[in-house]
Amino acid sequence: MARYLVTGGAGYVGSHVVLALRERGDDVVVVDDLRQGHRQAVSPGAELVVADISDRRRLDEVFASWKFDGVLHFAALSLVGESMREPLRYIAENVSNTLWLAEAAVRAGCGRFLMSSTAALFGLPESVPIDEGARLQPLSAYGDSKLMAEKGLDWAERAHGLRTASLRYFNAAGADPQGRLGEDHDPETHLIPLAINAALGLGPALTIFGSDYNTPDGTCIRDYVHVTDLADAHLRVLDRLNAEGGLRYNVGNGQGYSVREVLASIKAVSGREVPCALGARRQGDPAVLVASSAKLQRETGWAPRYDSLDEIVRTAWSWRAAYPQGYRNFSPTVASV
């Protein structure tokens, strides 16, 4: 049994990883200031410290109170559009929070550090599927902040021997298949929950940003990786960090689905039409973004289990249909492990 510090563990991806760690018997301390996260999303048995990770004194107290076998770092600003309006805040906060956290981990003698990174590192890719050798050329301040944070971790590794990993997620999607956790952001910016909310009458009609791309149906194609598969990838990479560091992996399910295919899947799964309207393209949106996770699969044995779009959509639909107000009407006992 090991003990992990999880920043942002009350958020969407982090809470699913905390659940997976608890299920395999690990101890978890979550640090989250709940600006986006939810107290009810933290699995019972995990400690929750409500704090901003930029508060270095609180962070030192946390490292003094527990001895950790590793840090998993999810807490970050992560809205691409907002990052273009406030680039300095994004870069300052995402980079410095990551590096001070790494520094605190080094001081505490904690040898493993895994951070959430993003497909936004690759900007407009030259080819798909995108593997780890693709050129790193972020188009947003958000993407650049994650790239700078990764570079800082390279230095923590070289100078201090901290073994680091970075998982570059494509689009995390779906919900715990047993209905114990789901996705609940405010504002919501991800396609699947926005479309489900529209179909349930919980949100406005969906805007499709561009229908004249060079794709079979004219809409953008993205790679949706189930959040439970993503959680499994974290556990495997964490184990690999026991032996070696400098791990950088792309994580996706390797298949691309267009916006229209997502809407058709929601119709197939729920019987409901998604009200939608056609809008203009968004600047900087590539036509196709699909990951190659071959390196992750080869080196850790990971493979997506929920790789069909209908399965992904079904879990997301079930959670939102059961909890239309998200965690506001969520029964905490449901999250028990």
Ligand X SMILES: NC(=O)c1ccc[n+]([C@@H]2O[C@H](COP(=O)([O-])OP(=O)(O)OC[C@H]3O[C@@H](n4cnc5c(N)ncnc54)[C@H](O)[C@@H]3O)[C@@H](O)[C@H]2O)c1
Q: Where are the alpha helices (DSSP H) in the chain?
A: 12-23, 56-65, 80-85, 87-107, 141-160, 191-199, 227-240, 259-270, 294-300, 309-322
Shortest distance, position 76 Cβ to ligand X, whole Å: 3
Euclidean distance between CA atoms 41 and 19, whole angstroms: 9
**Which of 4, 63, 68, 74: binder of ligand X (CB under 6 A)?**
74
Taking CB under 6 A as the rule, does residue 33 contact ligand X? yes
Shortest distance, position 212 Cβ to ligand X, whole Å: 25
**Which of 4, 17, 70, 78: binder of ligand X (CB under 6 A)?**
78
Shortest distance, position 175 Cβ to ligand X, whole Å: 12
Question: To which residue do tokens 């939608």 refer?
Answer: 276
How big is the chain, counted in residues? 337
Name the active-site residue from 142, 169, 257, 323.
142
**Which of 17, 121, 172, 235: binder of ligand X (CB under 6 A)?**
172
User: DSSP per residue over 85-150, as a string?
Assistant: HSHHHHHHHHHHHHHHHHHHHHHTT--EEEEEEEGGGGSS-SSSSB-TTS----SSHHHHHHHHHH
Q: With CB under 6 A as the rule, give the number of residues binding ligand X.
A: 27
Cβ 118 vs Cβ 168: under 8 Å: yes
Shortest distance, position 79 Cβ to ligand X, whole Å: 9
Pick the stretch among 51-59, 130-138, 231-239, 299-307 that binds ligand X (CB under 6 A): 51-59
Tell me, residue by residue from 112 to 151, as one string, x for binding to ligand X by CB under 6 A and - for no binding: ----x-x---------------------------------
Kindly identify the residues of this chain, within the stretch 174-203, that bind ligand X according to CB under 6 A: 185
Kindly identify the residues of this chain, within the stretch 81-100, that bind ligand X according to CB under 6 A: 97
Three-state DSSP class for 325? Answer: coil
Taking CB under 6 A as the rule, does residue 169 contact ligand X? yes
Whether 257 is a known active-site residue: answer: no
Taking CB under 6 A as the rule, does residue 156 contact ligand X? no
Residue 19: name the closest of 336, 316, 277 by CA.
336
Enzyme catalytic residues:
142
**Residues at the interface with ligand X (CB under 6 A):** 8, 10-14, 31-37, 52-54, 74-76, 78, 97, 116, 118, 169, 171-172, 185
